[in-house]
Structure 1
Amino acid sequence: MEIVEGLITVTPLSSVAHNGVAGRVQRRLYDVVPEDWGVYQRLPLAVPGRLGLFEPDLAVVPEALLRAGDEQLILASKAELVGEIVSAATATNDRIHKLAGYAQAGVPLYLLIDSLAPSGPTVTLYGEPDGETYRVLYAGEAGDQVVLPAPFRCTLHTCEFPGG
């Protein structure tokens, strides 16, 4: 369950392929994140400016935030990177509403893996948030290599993603 644009949204369980992509990205990120950061799947992030509660497929946040006691939510603004893997049930939210929400929250990097893009499977890396928009840092087909900038400084090999 998520809250997107103030509306409660219930999405079906992710496919096995969806989870496989998330796992591959998560493993790669663990090779490069600082020791005191974690890479989490489905971590609830509050996006107050958009009346939102998002559960990104991947979120990189400082581990100290998870030791904050009785807190139930982490502000999206505390994430260093979020990633969404588009499914039929989440396409509009991932491509439009969450893109704007993460940008408004100031999340430095948004990775969108979209195997359902009309022109074929794509991977897009957004950065430099400004208001509700991002600059596209990289846009290519699944199968290409995606270079993540500092603080990650790594290459994602997307050839094993659906369509790659």
Structure 2
Amino acid sequence: MTAMIPTAHHGPWTEEEYLALGEDNDRIELFDGDLHVTASPSPWHQRVCRKLATSLEEGAEDRGLHVHWAVNLRLKPSRIVIPDLAITTVIDFDERVVPGSSAVLVCEVTSPSNAATDKVLKMHYYAEAGIPWYLIVEHNTFALRLFRLQGGTYVERHTAEPGEVLRLIEPVTAEIRPESLLPPR
């Protein structure tokens, strides 16, 4: 099913109206009653997400957690975001929307068109929702930046540039080399 965004909509969008849009190739998120629409991710972006998910999968499964690509994550009523990756506890796989309270880590892969949204707005939203870990993949430097929620804000815990290794012990165990996520040149 392809979503058709009505051009004549008055007032804030409700969660019901948002969900009635259906599935689409574009990413449509609900930010406090407003729709935030971005185009489908580039092949570069998709590859980084796939390789990162593969790197996290075994460590997640060992802890009874699940790795998801681009799921609808409800942070609060009228706020449904679509992180590039989310690691969750047990969820209902038949539901279209995953409760934010089940997320233990979210990841965003920045791109030139969305870096500010990922580094400021979504970081704030994820912190406000109480998601313990936030991972950012920097498009311009290929760095991996891991943040831990402390006192309601994210504090950077680890950074790995190409040539280095990001070693996670929480919420999953994994070792990730930034250059391993990149497409061949």
Q: Same fold (TM over 0.5)?
A: yes
Q: Indicate if the aligned counterparts of 1:143 and 1:158 stay in contact, CA closer than 8 A.
A: yes
Residue 115 (structure 1) aligns with: 139
Match of 2:92 among 46, 49, 66: 66
Secondary structure of 1:33 counterpart: helix
Q: Indicate if the aligned counterparts of 2:145 and 2:156 stay in contact, CA closer than 8 A.
A: yes
Secondary structure of 1:121 counterpart: coil
Q: Indicate if the aligned counterparts of 1:126 and 1:134 stay in contact, CA closer than 8 A.
A: yes
Match of 1:85 among 99, 106, 109: 109
Cα shift at 1:162: 4.6
Cα shift at 1:138: 1.2
Counterpart amino acid of residue 134 in structure 1: Y
Q: Indicate if the aligned counterparts of 1:12 and 1:89 stay in contact, CA closer than 8 A.
A: no
Secondary structure of 2:38 counterpart: coil
Match of 2:38 among 3, 6, 11: 11
Pairs within 5 Å for 1:1-164: 1-4=28-31, 6-34=33-61, 36-48=64-76, 51-63=78-90, 65-67=91-93, 71-116=95-140, 120-131=141-152, 133-162=153-182
Secondary structure of 2:135 counterpart: strand
In 1, the alpha carbon distance for the partners of 2:88 and 2:45 equals 21
| Gaps in structure 2 of 5+ consecutive residues | 1-27
State which structure, 1 or 2, has the greater radius of gyration over its C-alpha atoms: 2
| Gaps in structure 1 of 5+ consecutive residues | none
Q: What's the TM-score once normalised by structure 2's chain length?
A: 0.74
In 2, the alpha carbon distance for the partners of 1:126 and 1:4 equals 22
Secondary structure of 2:35 counterpart: strand
RMSD: 2.3
Cα shift at 1:55: 0.5
In 2, the alpha carbon distance for the partners of 1:102 and 1:138 equals 18
Cα shift at 1:18: 0.7
Cα shift at 1:56: 0.6
Cα shift at 1:8: 1.1
Number of residues of Structure 1 aligned to a counterpart in Structure 2: 156
Counterpart amino acid of residue 155 in structure 2: R
Counterpart amino acid of residue 75 in structure 2: V
Q: Identity, % of aligned pairs?
A: 25
Change (3 A) 1:4 1:29: same
Q: What's the TM-score once normalised by structure 1's chain length?
A: 0.83
Q: Indicate if the aligned counterparts of 2:108 and 2:135 stay in contact, CA closer than 8 A.
A: yes
